[in-house]
Amino acid sequence: MKKKILISTGGTGGHVIPATIFYEQLKDKFDVFFVTDKRGCRFLNLEKYKLTVINTPKLTANFLLPLNLLGLFFSIIKSLIFLKKNRIEVLISTGGYMSLPICMAAKIFSIKIYSFEPNMVLGRVNSIFLRYAEKIFCYSDKIVNFPKKYLYKILLIDPLLRKEFYSDTTNDKNEINNEINLLIIGGSQGAELFDNKLKKSIISLSKKYKLNICQQTSSINKKKLEDFYNQNNISYQLFSFEENILKFISNTNLCITRAGASTLSELTYLNIPYLAIPYPFAKDDHQFQNALFYKNKNCCWILKQDDLTDDTLENNLINIIQNKDDYLSKKNSMRNFSCKNTWNNTNEKLISVINEN
């Protein structure tokens, strides 16, 4: 009989997408279940997974209000019932406050817990349950605020990528000239700032180079962006977070992006040089630490949002375009970083760990 595994996720795409990769990696060897919250459902094909929705009150300053505590209590009860009914043997938690009740229930039943931390700062729920976790899957053993006494629990894996990324040809164009195919990625939250703050720099850049824009945006801002690009005669494509990004990046030679862990790992694997503008309000400033991890490996450039003006953005982009040696150096570093990242290598490591004992 196959071992029964539960993957817990929810919230933003940064949590949900890695959970779907764990599912695809493990589904052939194990009986895999899925728990998410309502927010996570929008990133999932609801017909593809054995999916159960368990909502959790958000961990805010008002968390200790009676209604929130009551909501957490019922979430734990629902989690206990689910784990017992389905005889779950292993829990893989992708972090976030939505994993709190299922992790608490798993601890009560002494179910093996494996955590996942793709960021370069240890998340709060992962920190709470670190002492109870068998292992924690990470991309680095230099995570900020990681307790030294638990370093032995870190299991290093290559950045998780959706399977279709491995069959896609990585970007082998080794130069950037007068035609700039610029990809703009705002992340699962839509990055309204990107929809508005980049406009003047884009207009200025379009007067110096042949510019083709491919931009991720939300449905709320789509019409405004269409009008902007049409009025300024700039070639563009717009897409949502839910769409397959591979359709839009085949000719990309430069990217402006937030610094979610999944996005940076995908761009690095696909060999697309990028200017990271980390979201400054992410918990514990983890997006900056994510970007710094890749910058220290010579894979990207960083511009802090506090320093983001029309002039600084334009100057950064022009410096990248004109400094061809640095551009090529970034691409070479990306290749070296990703050369051992294969679907099969990750698959073998995950299965081996879960089958231990």
Are the C-beta atoms of residues 8 and 101 closer than 8 Å to each other? no
pLDDT of residue 206: 93
CA dihedral 142, 291, 170, 176 (to 10 degrees): -140
Please give the tally of structural domains in the chain: 2
Question: For residue 242, what pLDDT is reported?
Answer: 67
Higher pLDDT, 143 or 241: 143
Residues 202 and 281 occupy one common structural domain: yes
Pair 46, 174 in one domain? no
Same domain as 243, residue 176: yes
Are both 187 and 315 inside the same structural domain?
yes
Given pLDDT bands bounded at 50, 70 and 90, which one contains residue 21? very high
Please say whether the dihedral angle defined by the alpha carbons of residues 176, 181, 184 and 185, taken in this order, is positive or negative: negative
The verdict on 300 and 348 lying in the same domain is no
Q: What is the pLDDT of residues 132-166, one digit of tens each?
A: 999 999 999 999 999 999 999 999 999 999 999 99
Return the CATH number at 220.
3.40.50.2000
Predicted confidence (pLDDT) at residue 62 exceeds the cutoff of 80: no
- 122 and 187 part of one domain: no
Query: What is the structure's pLDDT at 178?
Result: 80
Distance CA 121, CA 145 (A): 7
The CA angle 321-324-326, to the nearest 5 degrees, is 100
- Same domain for 112 and 138, yes or no, is yes
pLDDT > 60? residue 188 = no
- Confidence at 64, pLDDT banded by 50, 70, 90: low
- Give the range of the structural domain holding residue 280, as residue numbers without chain letter: 165-338
Task: Please tell me whether residue 168 adopts helix, strand or coil conformation.
Answer: coil
If pLDDT is split at 50, 70 and 90, which confidence band does 283 have? Answer: confident
Residue range 3-15, pLDDT digits in tens: 999 999 988 888 8
Residues 112, 195 within the same domain: no
Is residue 107 domain-shared with residue 169, that is, in the same domain? no
244-251: Cβ within 8 A, 24+ apart = 244/164, 245/185, 245/216, 246/164, 246/165, 246/168, 248/183, 248/214, 249/171, 249/183, 249/214, 250/171, 251/173, 251/181, 251/212
Same domain, 189 and 308: yes
Q: How confident is the model at residue 357 (pLDDT cuts 50, 70, 90)?
A: low
pLDDT digits (tens, 9 = 90+) for 36-50: 988 888 888 877 887
Same domain, 216 and 141: no
Residue 301 is predicted with a pLDDT of: 98
CA-nearest of 74, 11, 20 to 46 is: 20
Q: Model's pTM, two decimal places?
A: 0.91
Encoded tokens for 144: 């900020």
pLDDT of residue 342: 95
If one counts every other C-beta atom within 10 angstroms of the C-beta of residue 1, the result is 5
Report how far residue 339's alpha carbon sits from residue 43's, in angstroms, rounded to the nearest whole number. Answer: 29
Report the pLDDT value the prediction gives residue 14, as an integer from 0 to 100. 84
Q: Residue 50 and residue 31: Cα distance in Å, rounded?
A: 10
- Same domain flag for 230 and 327: yes
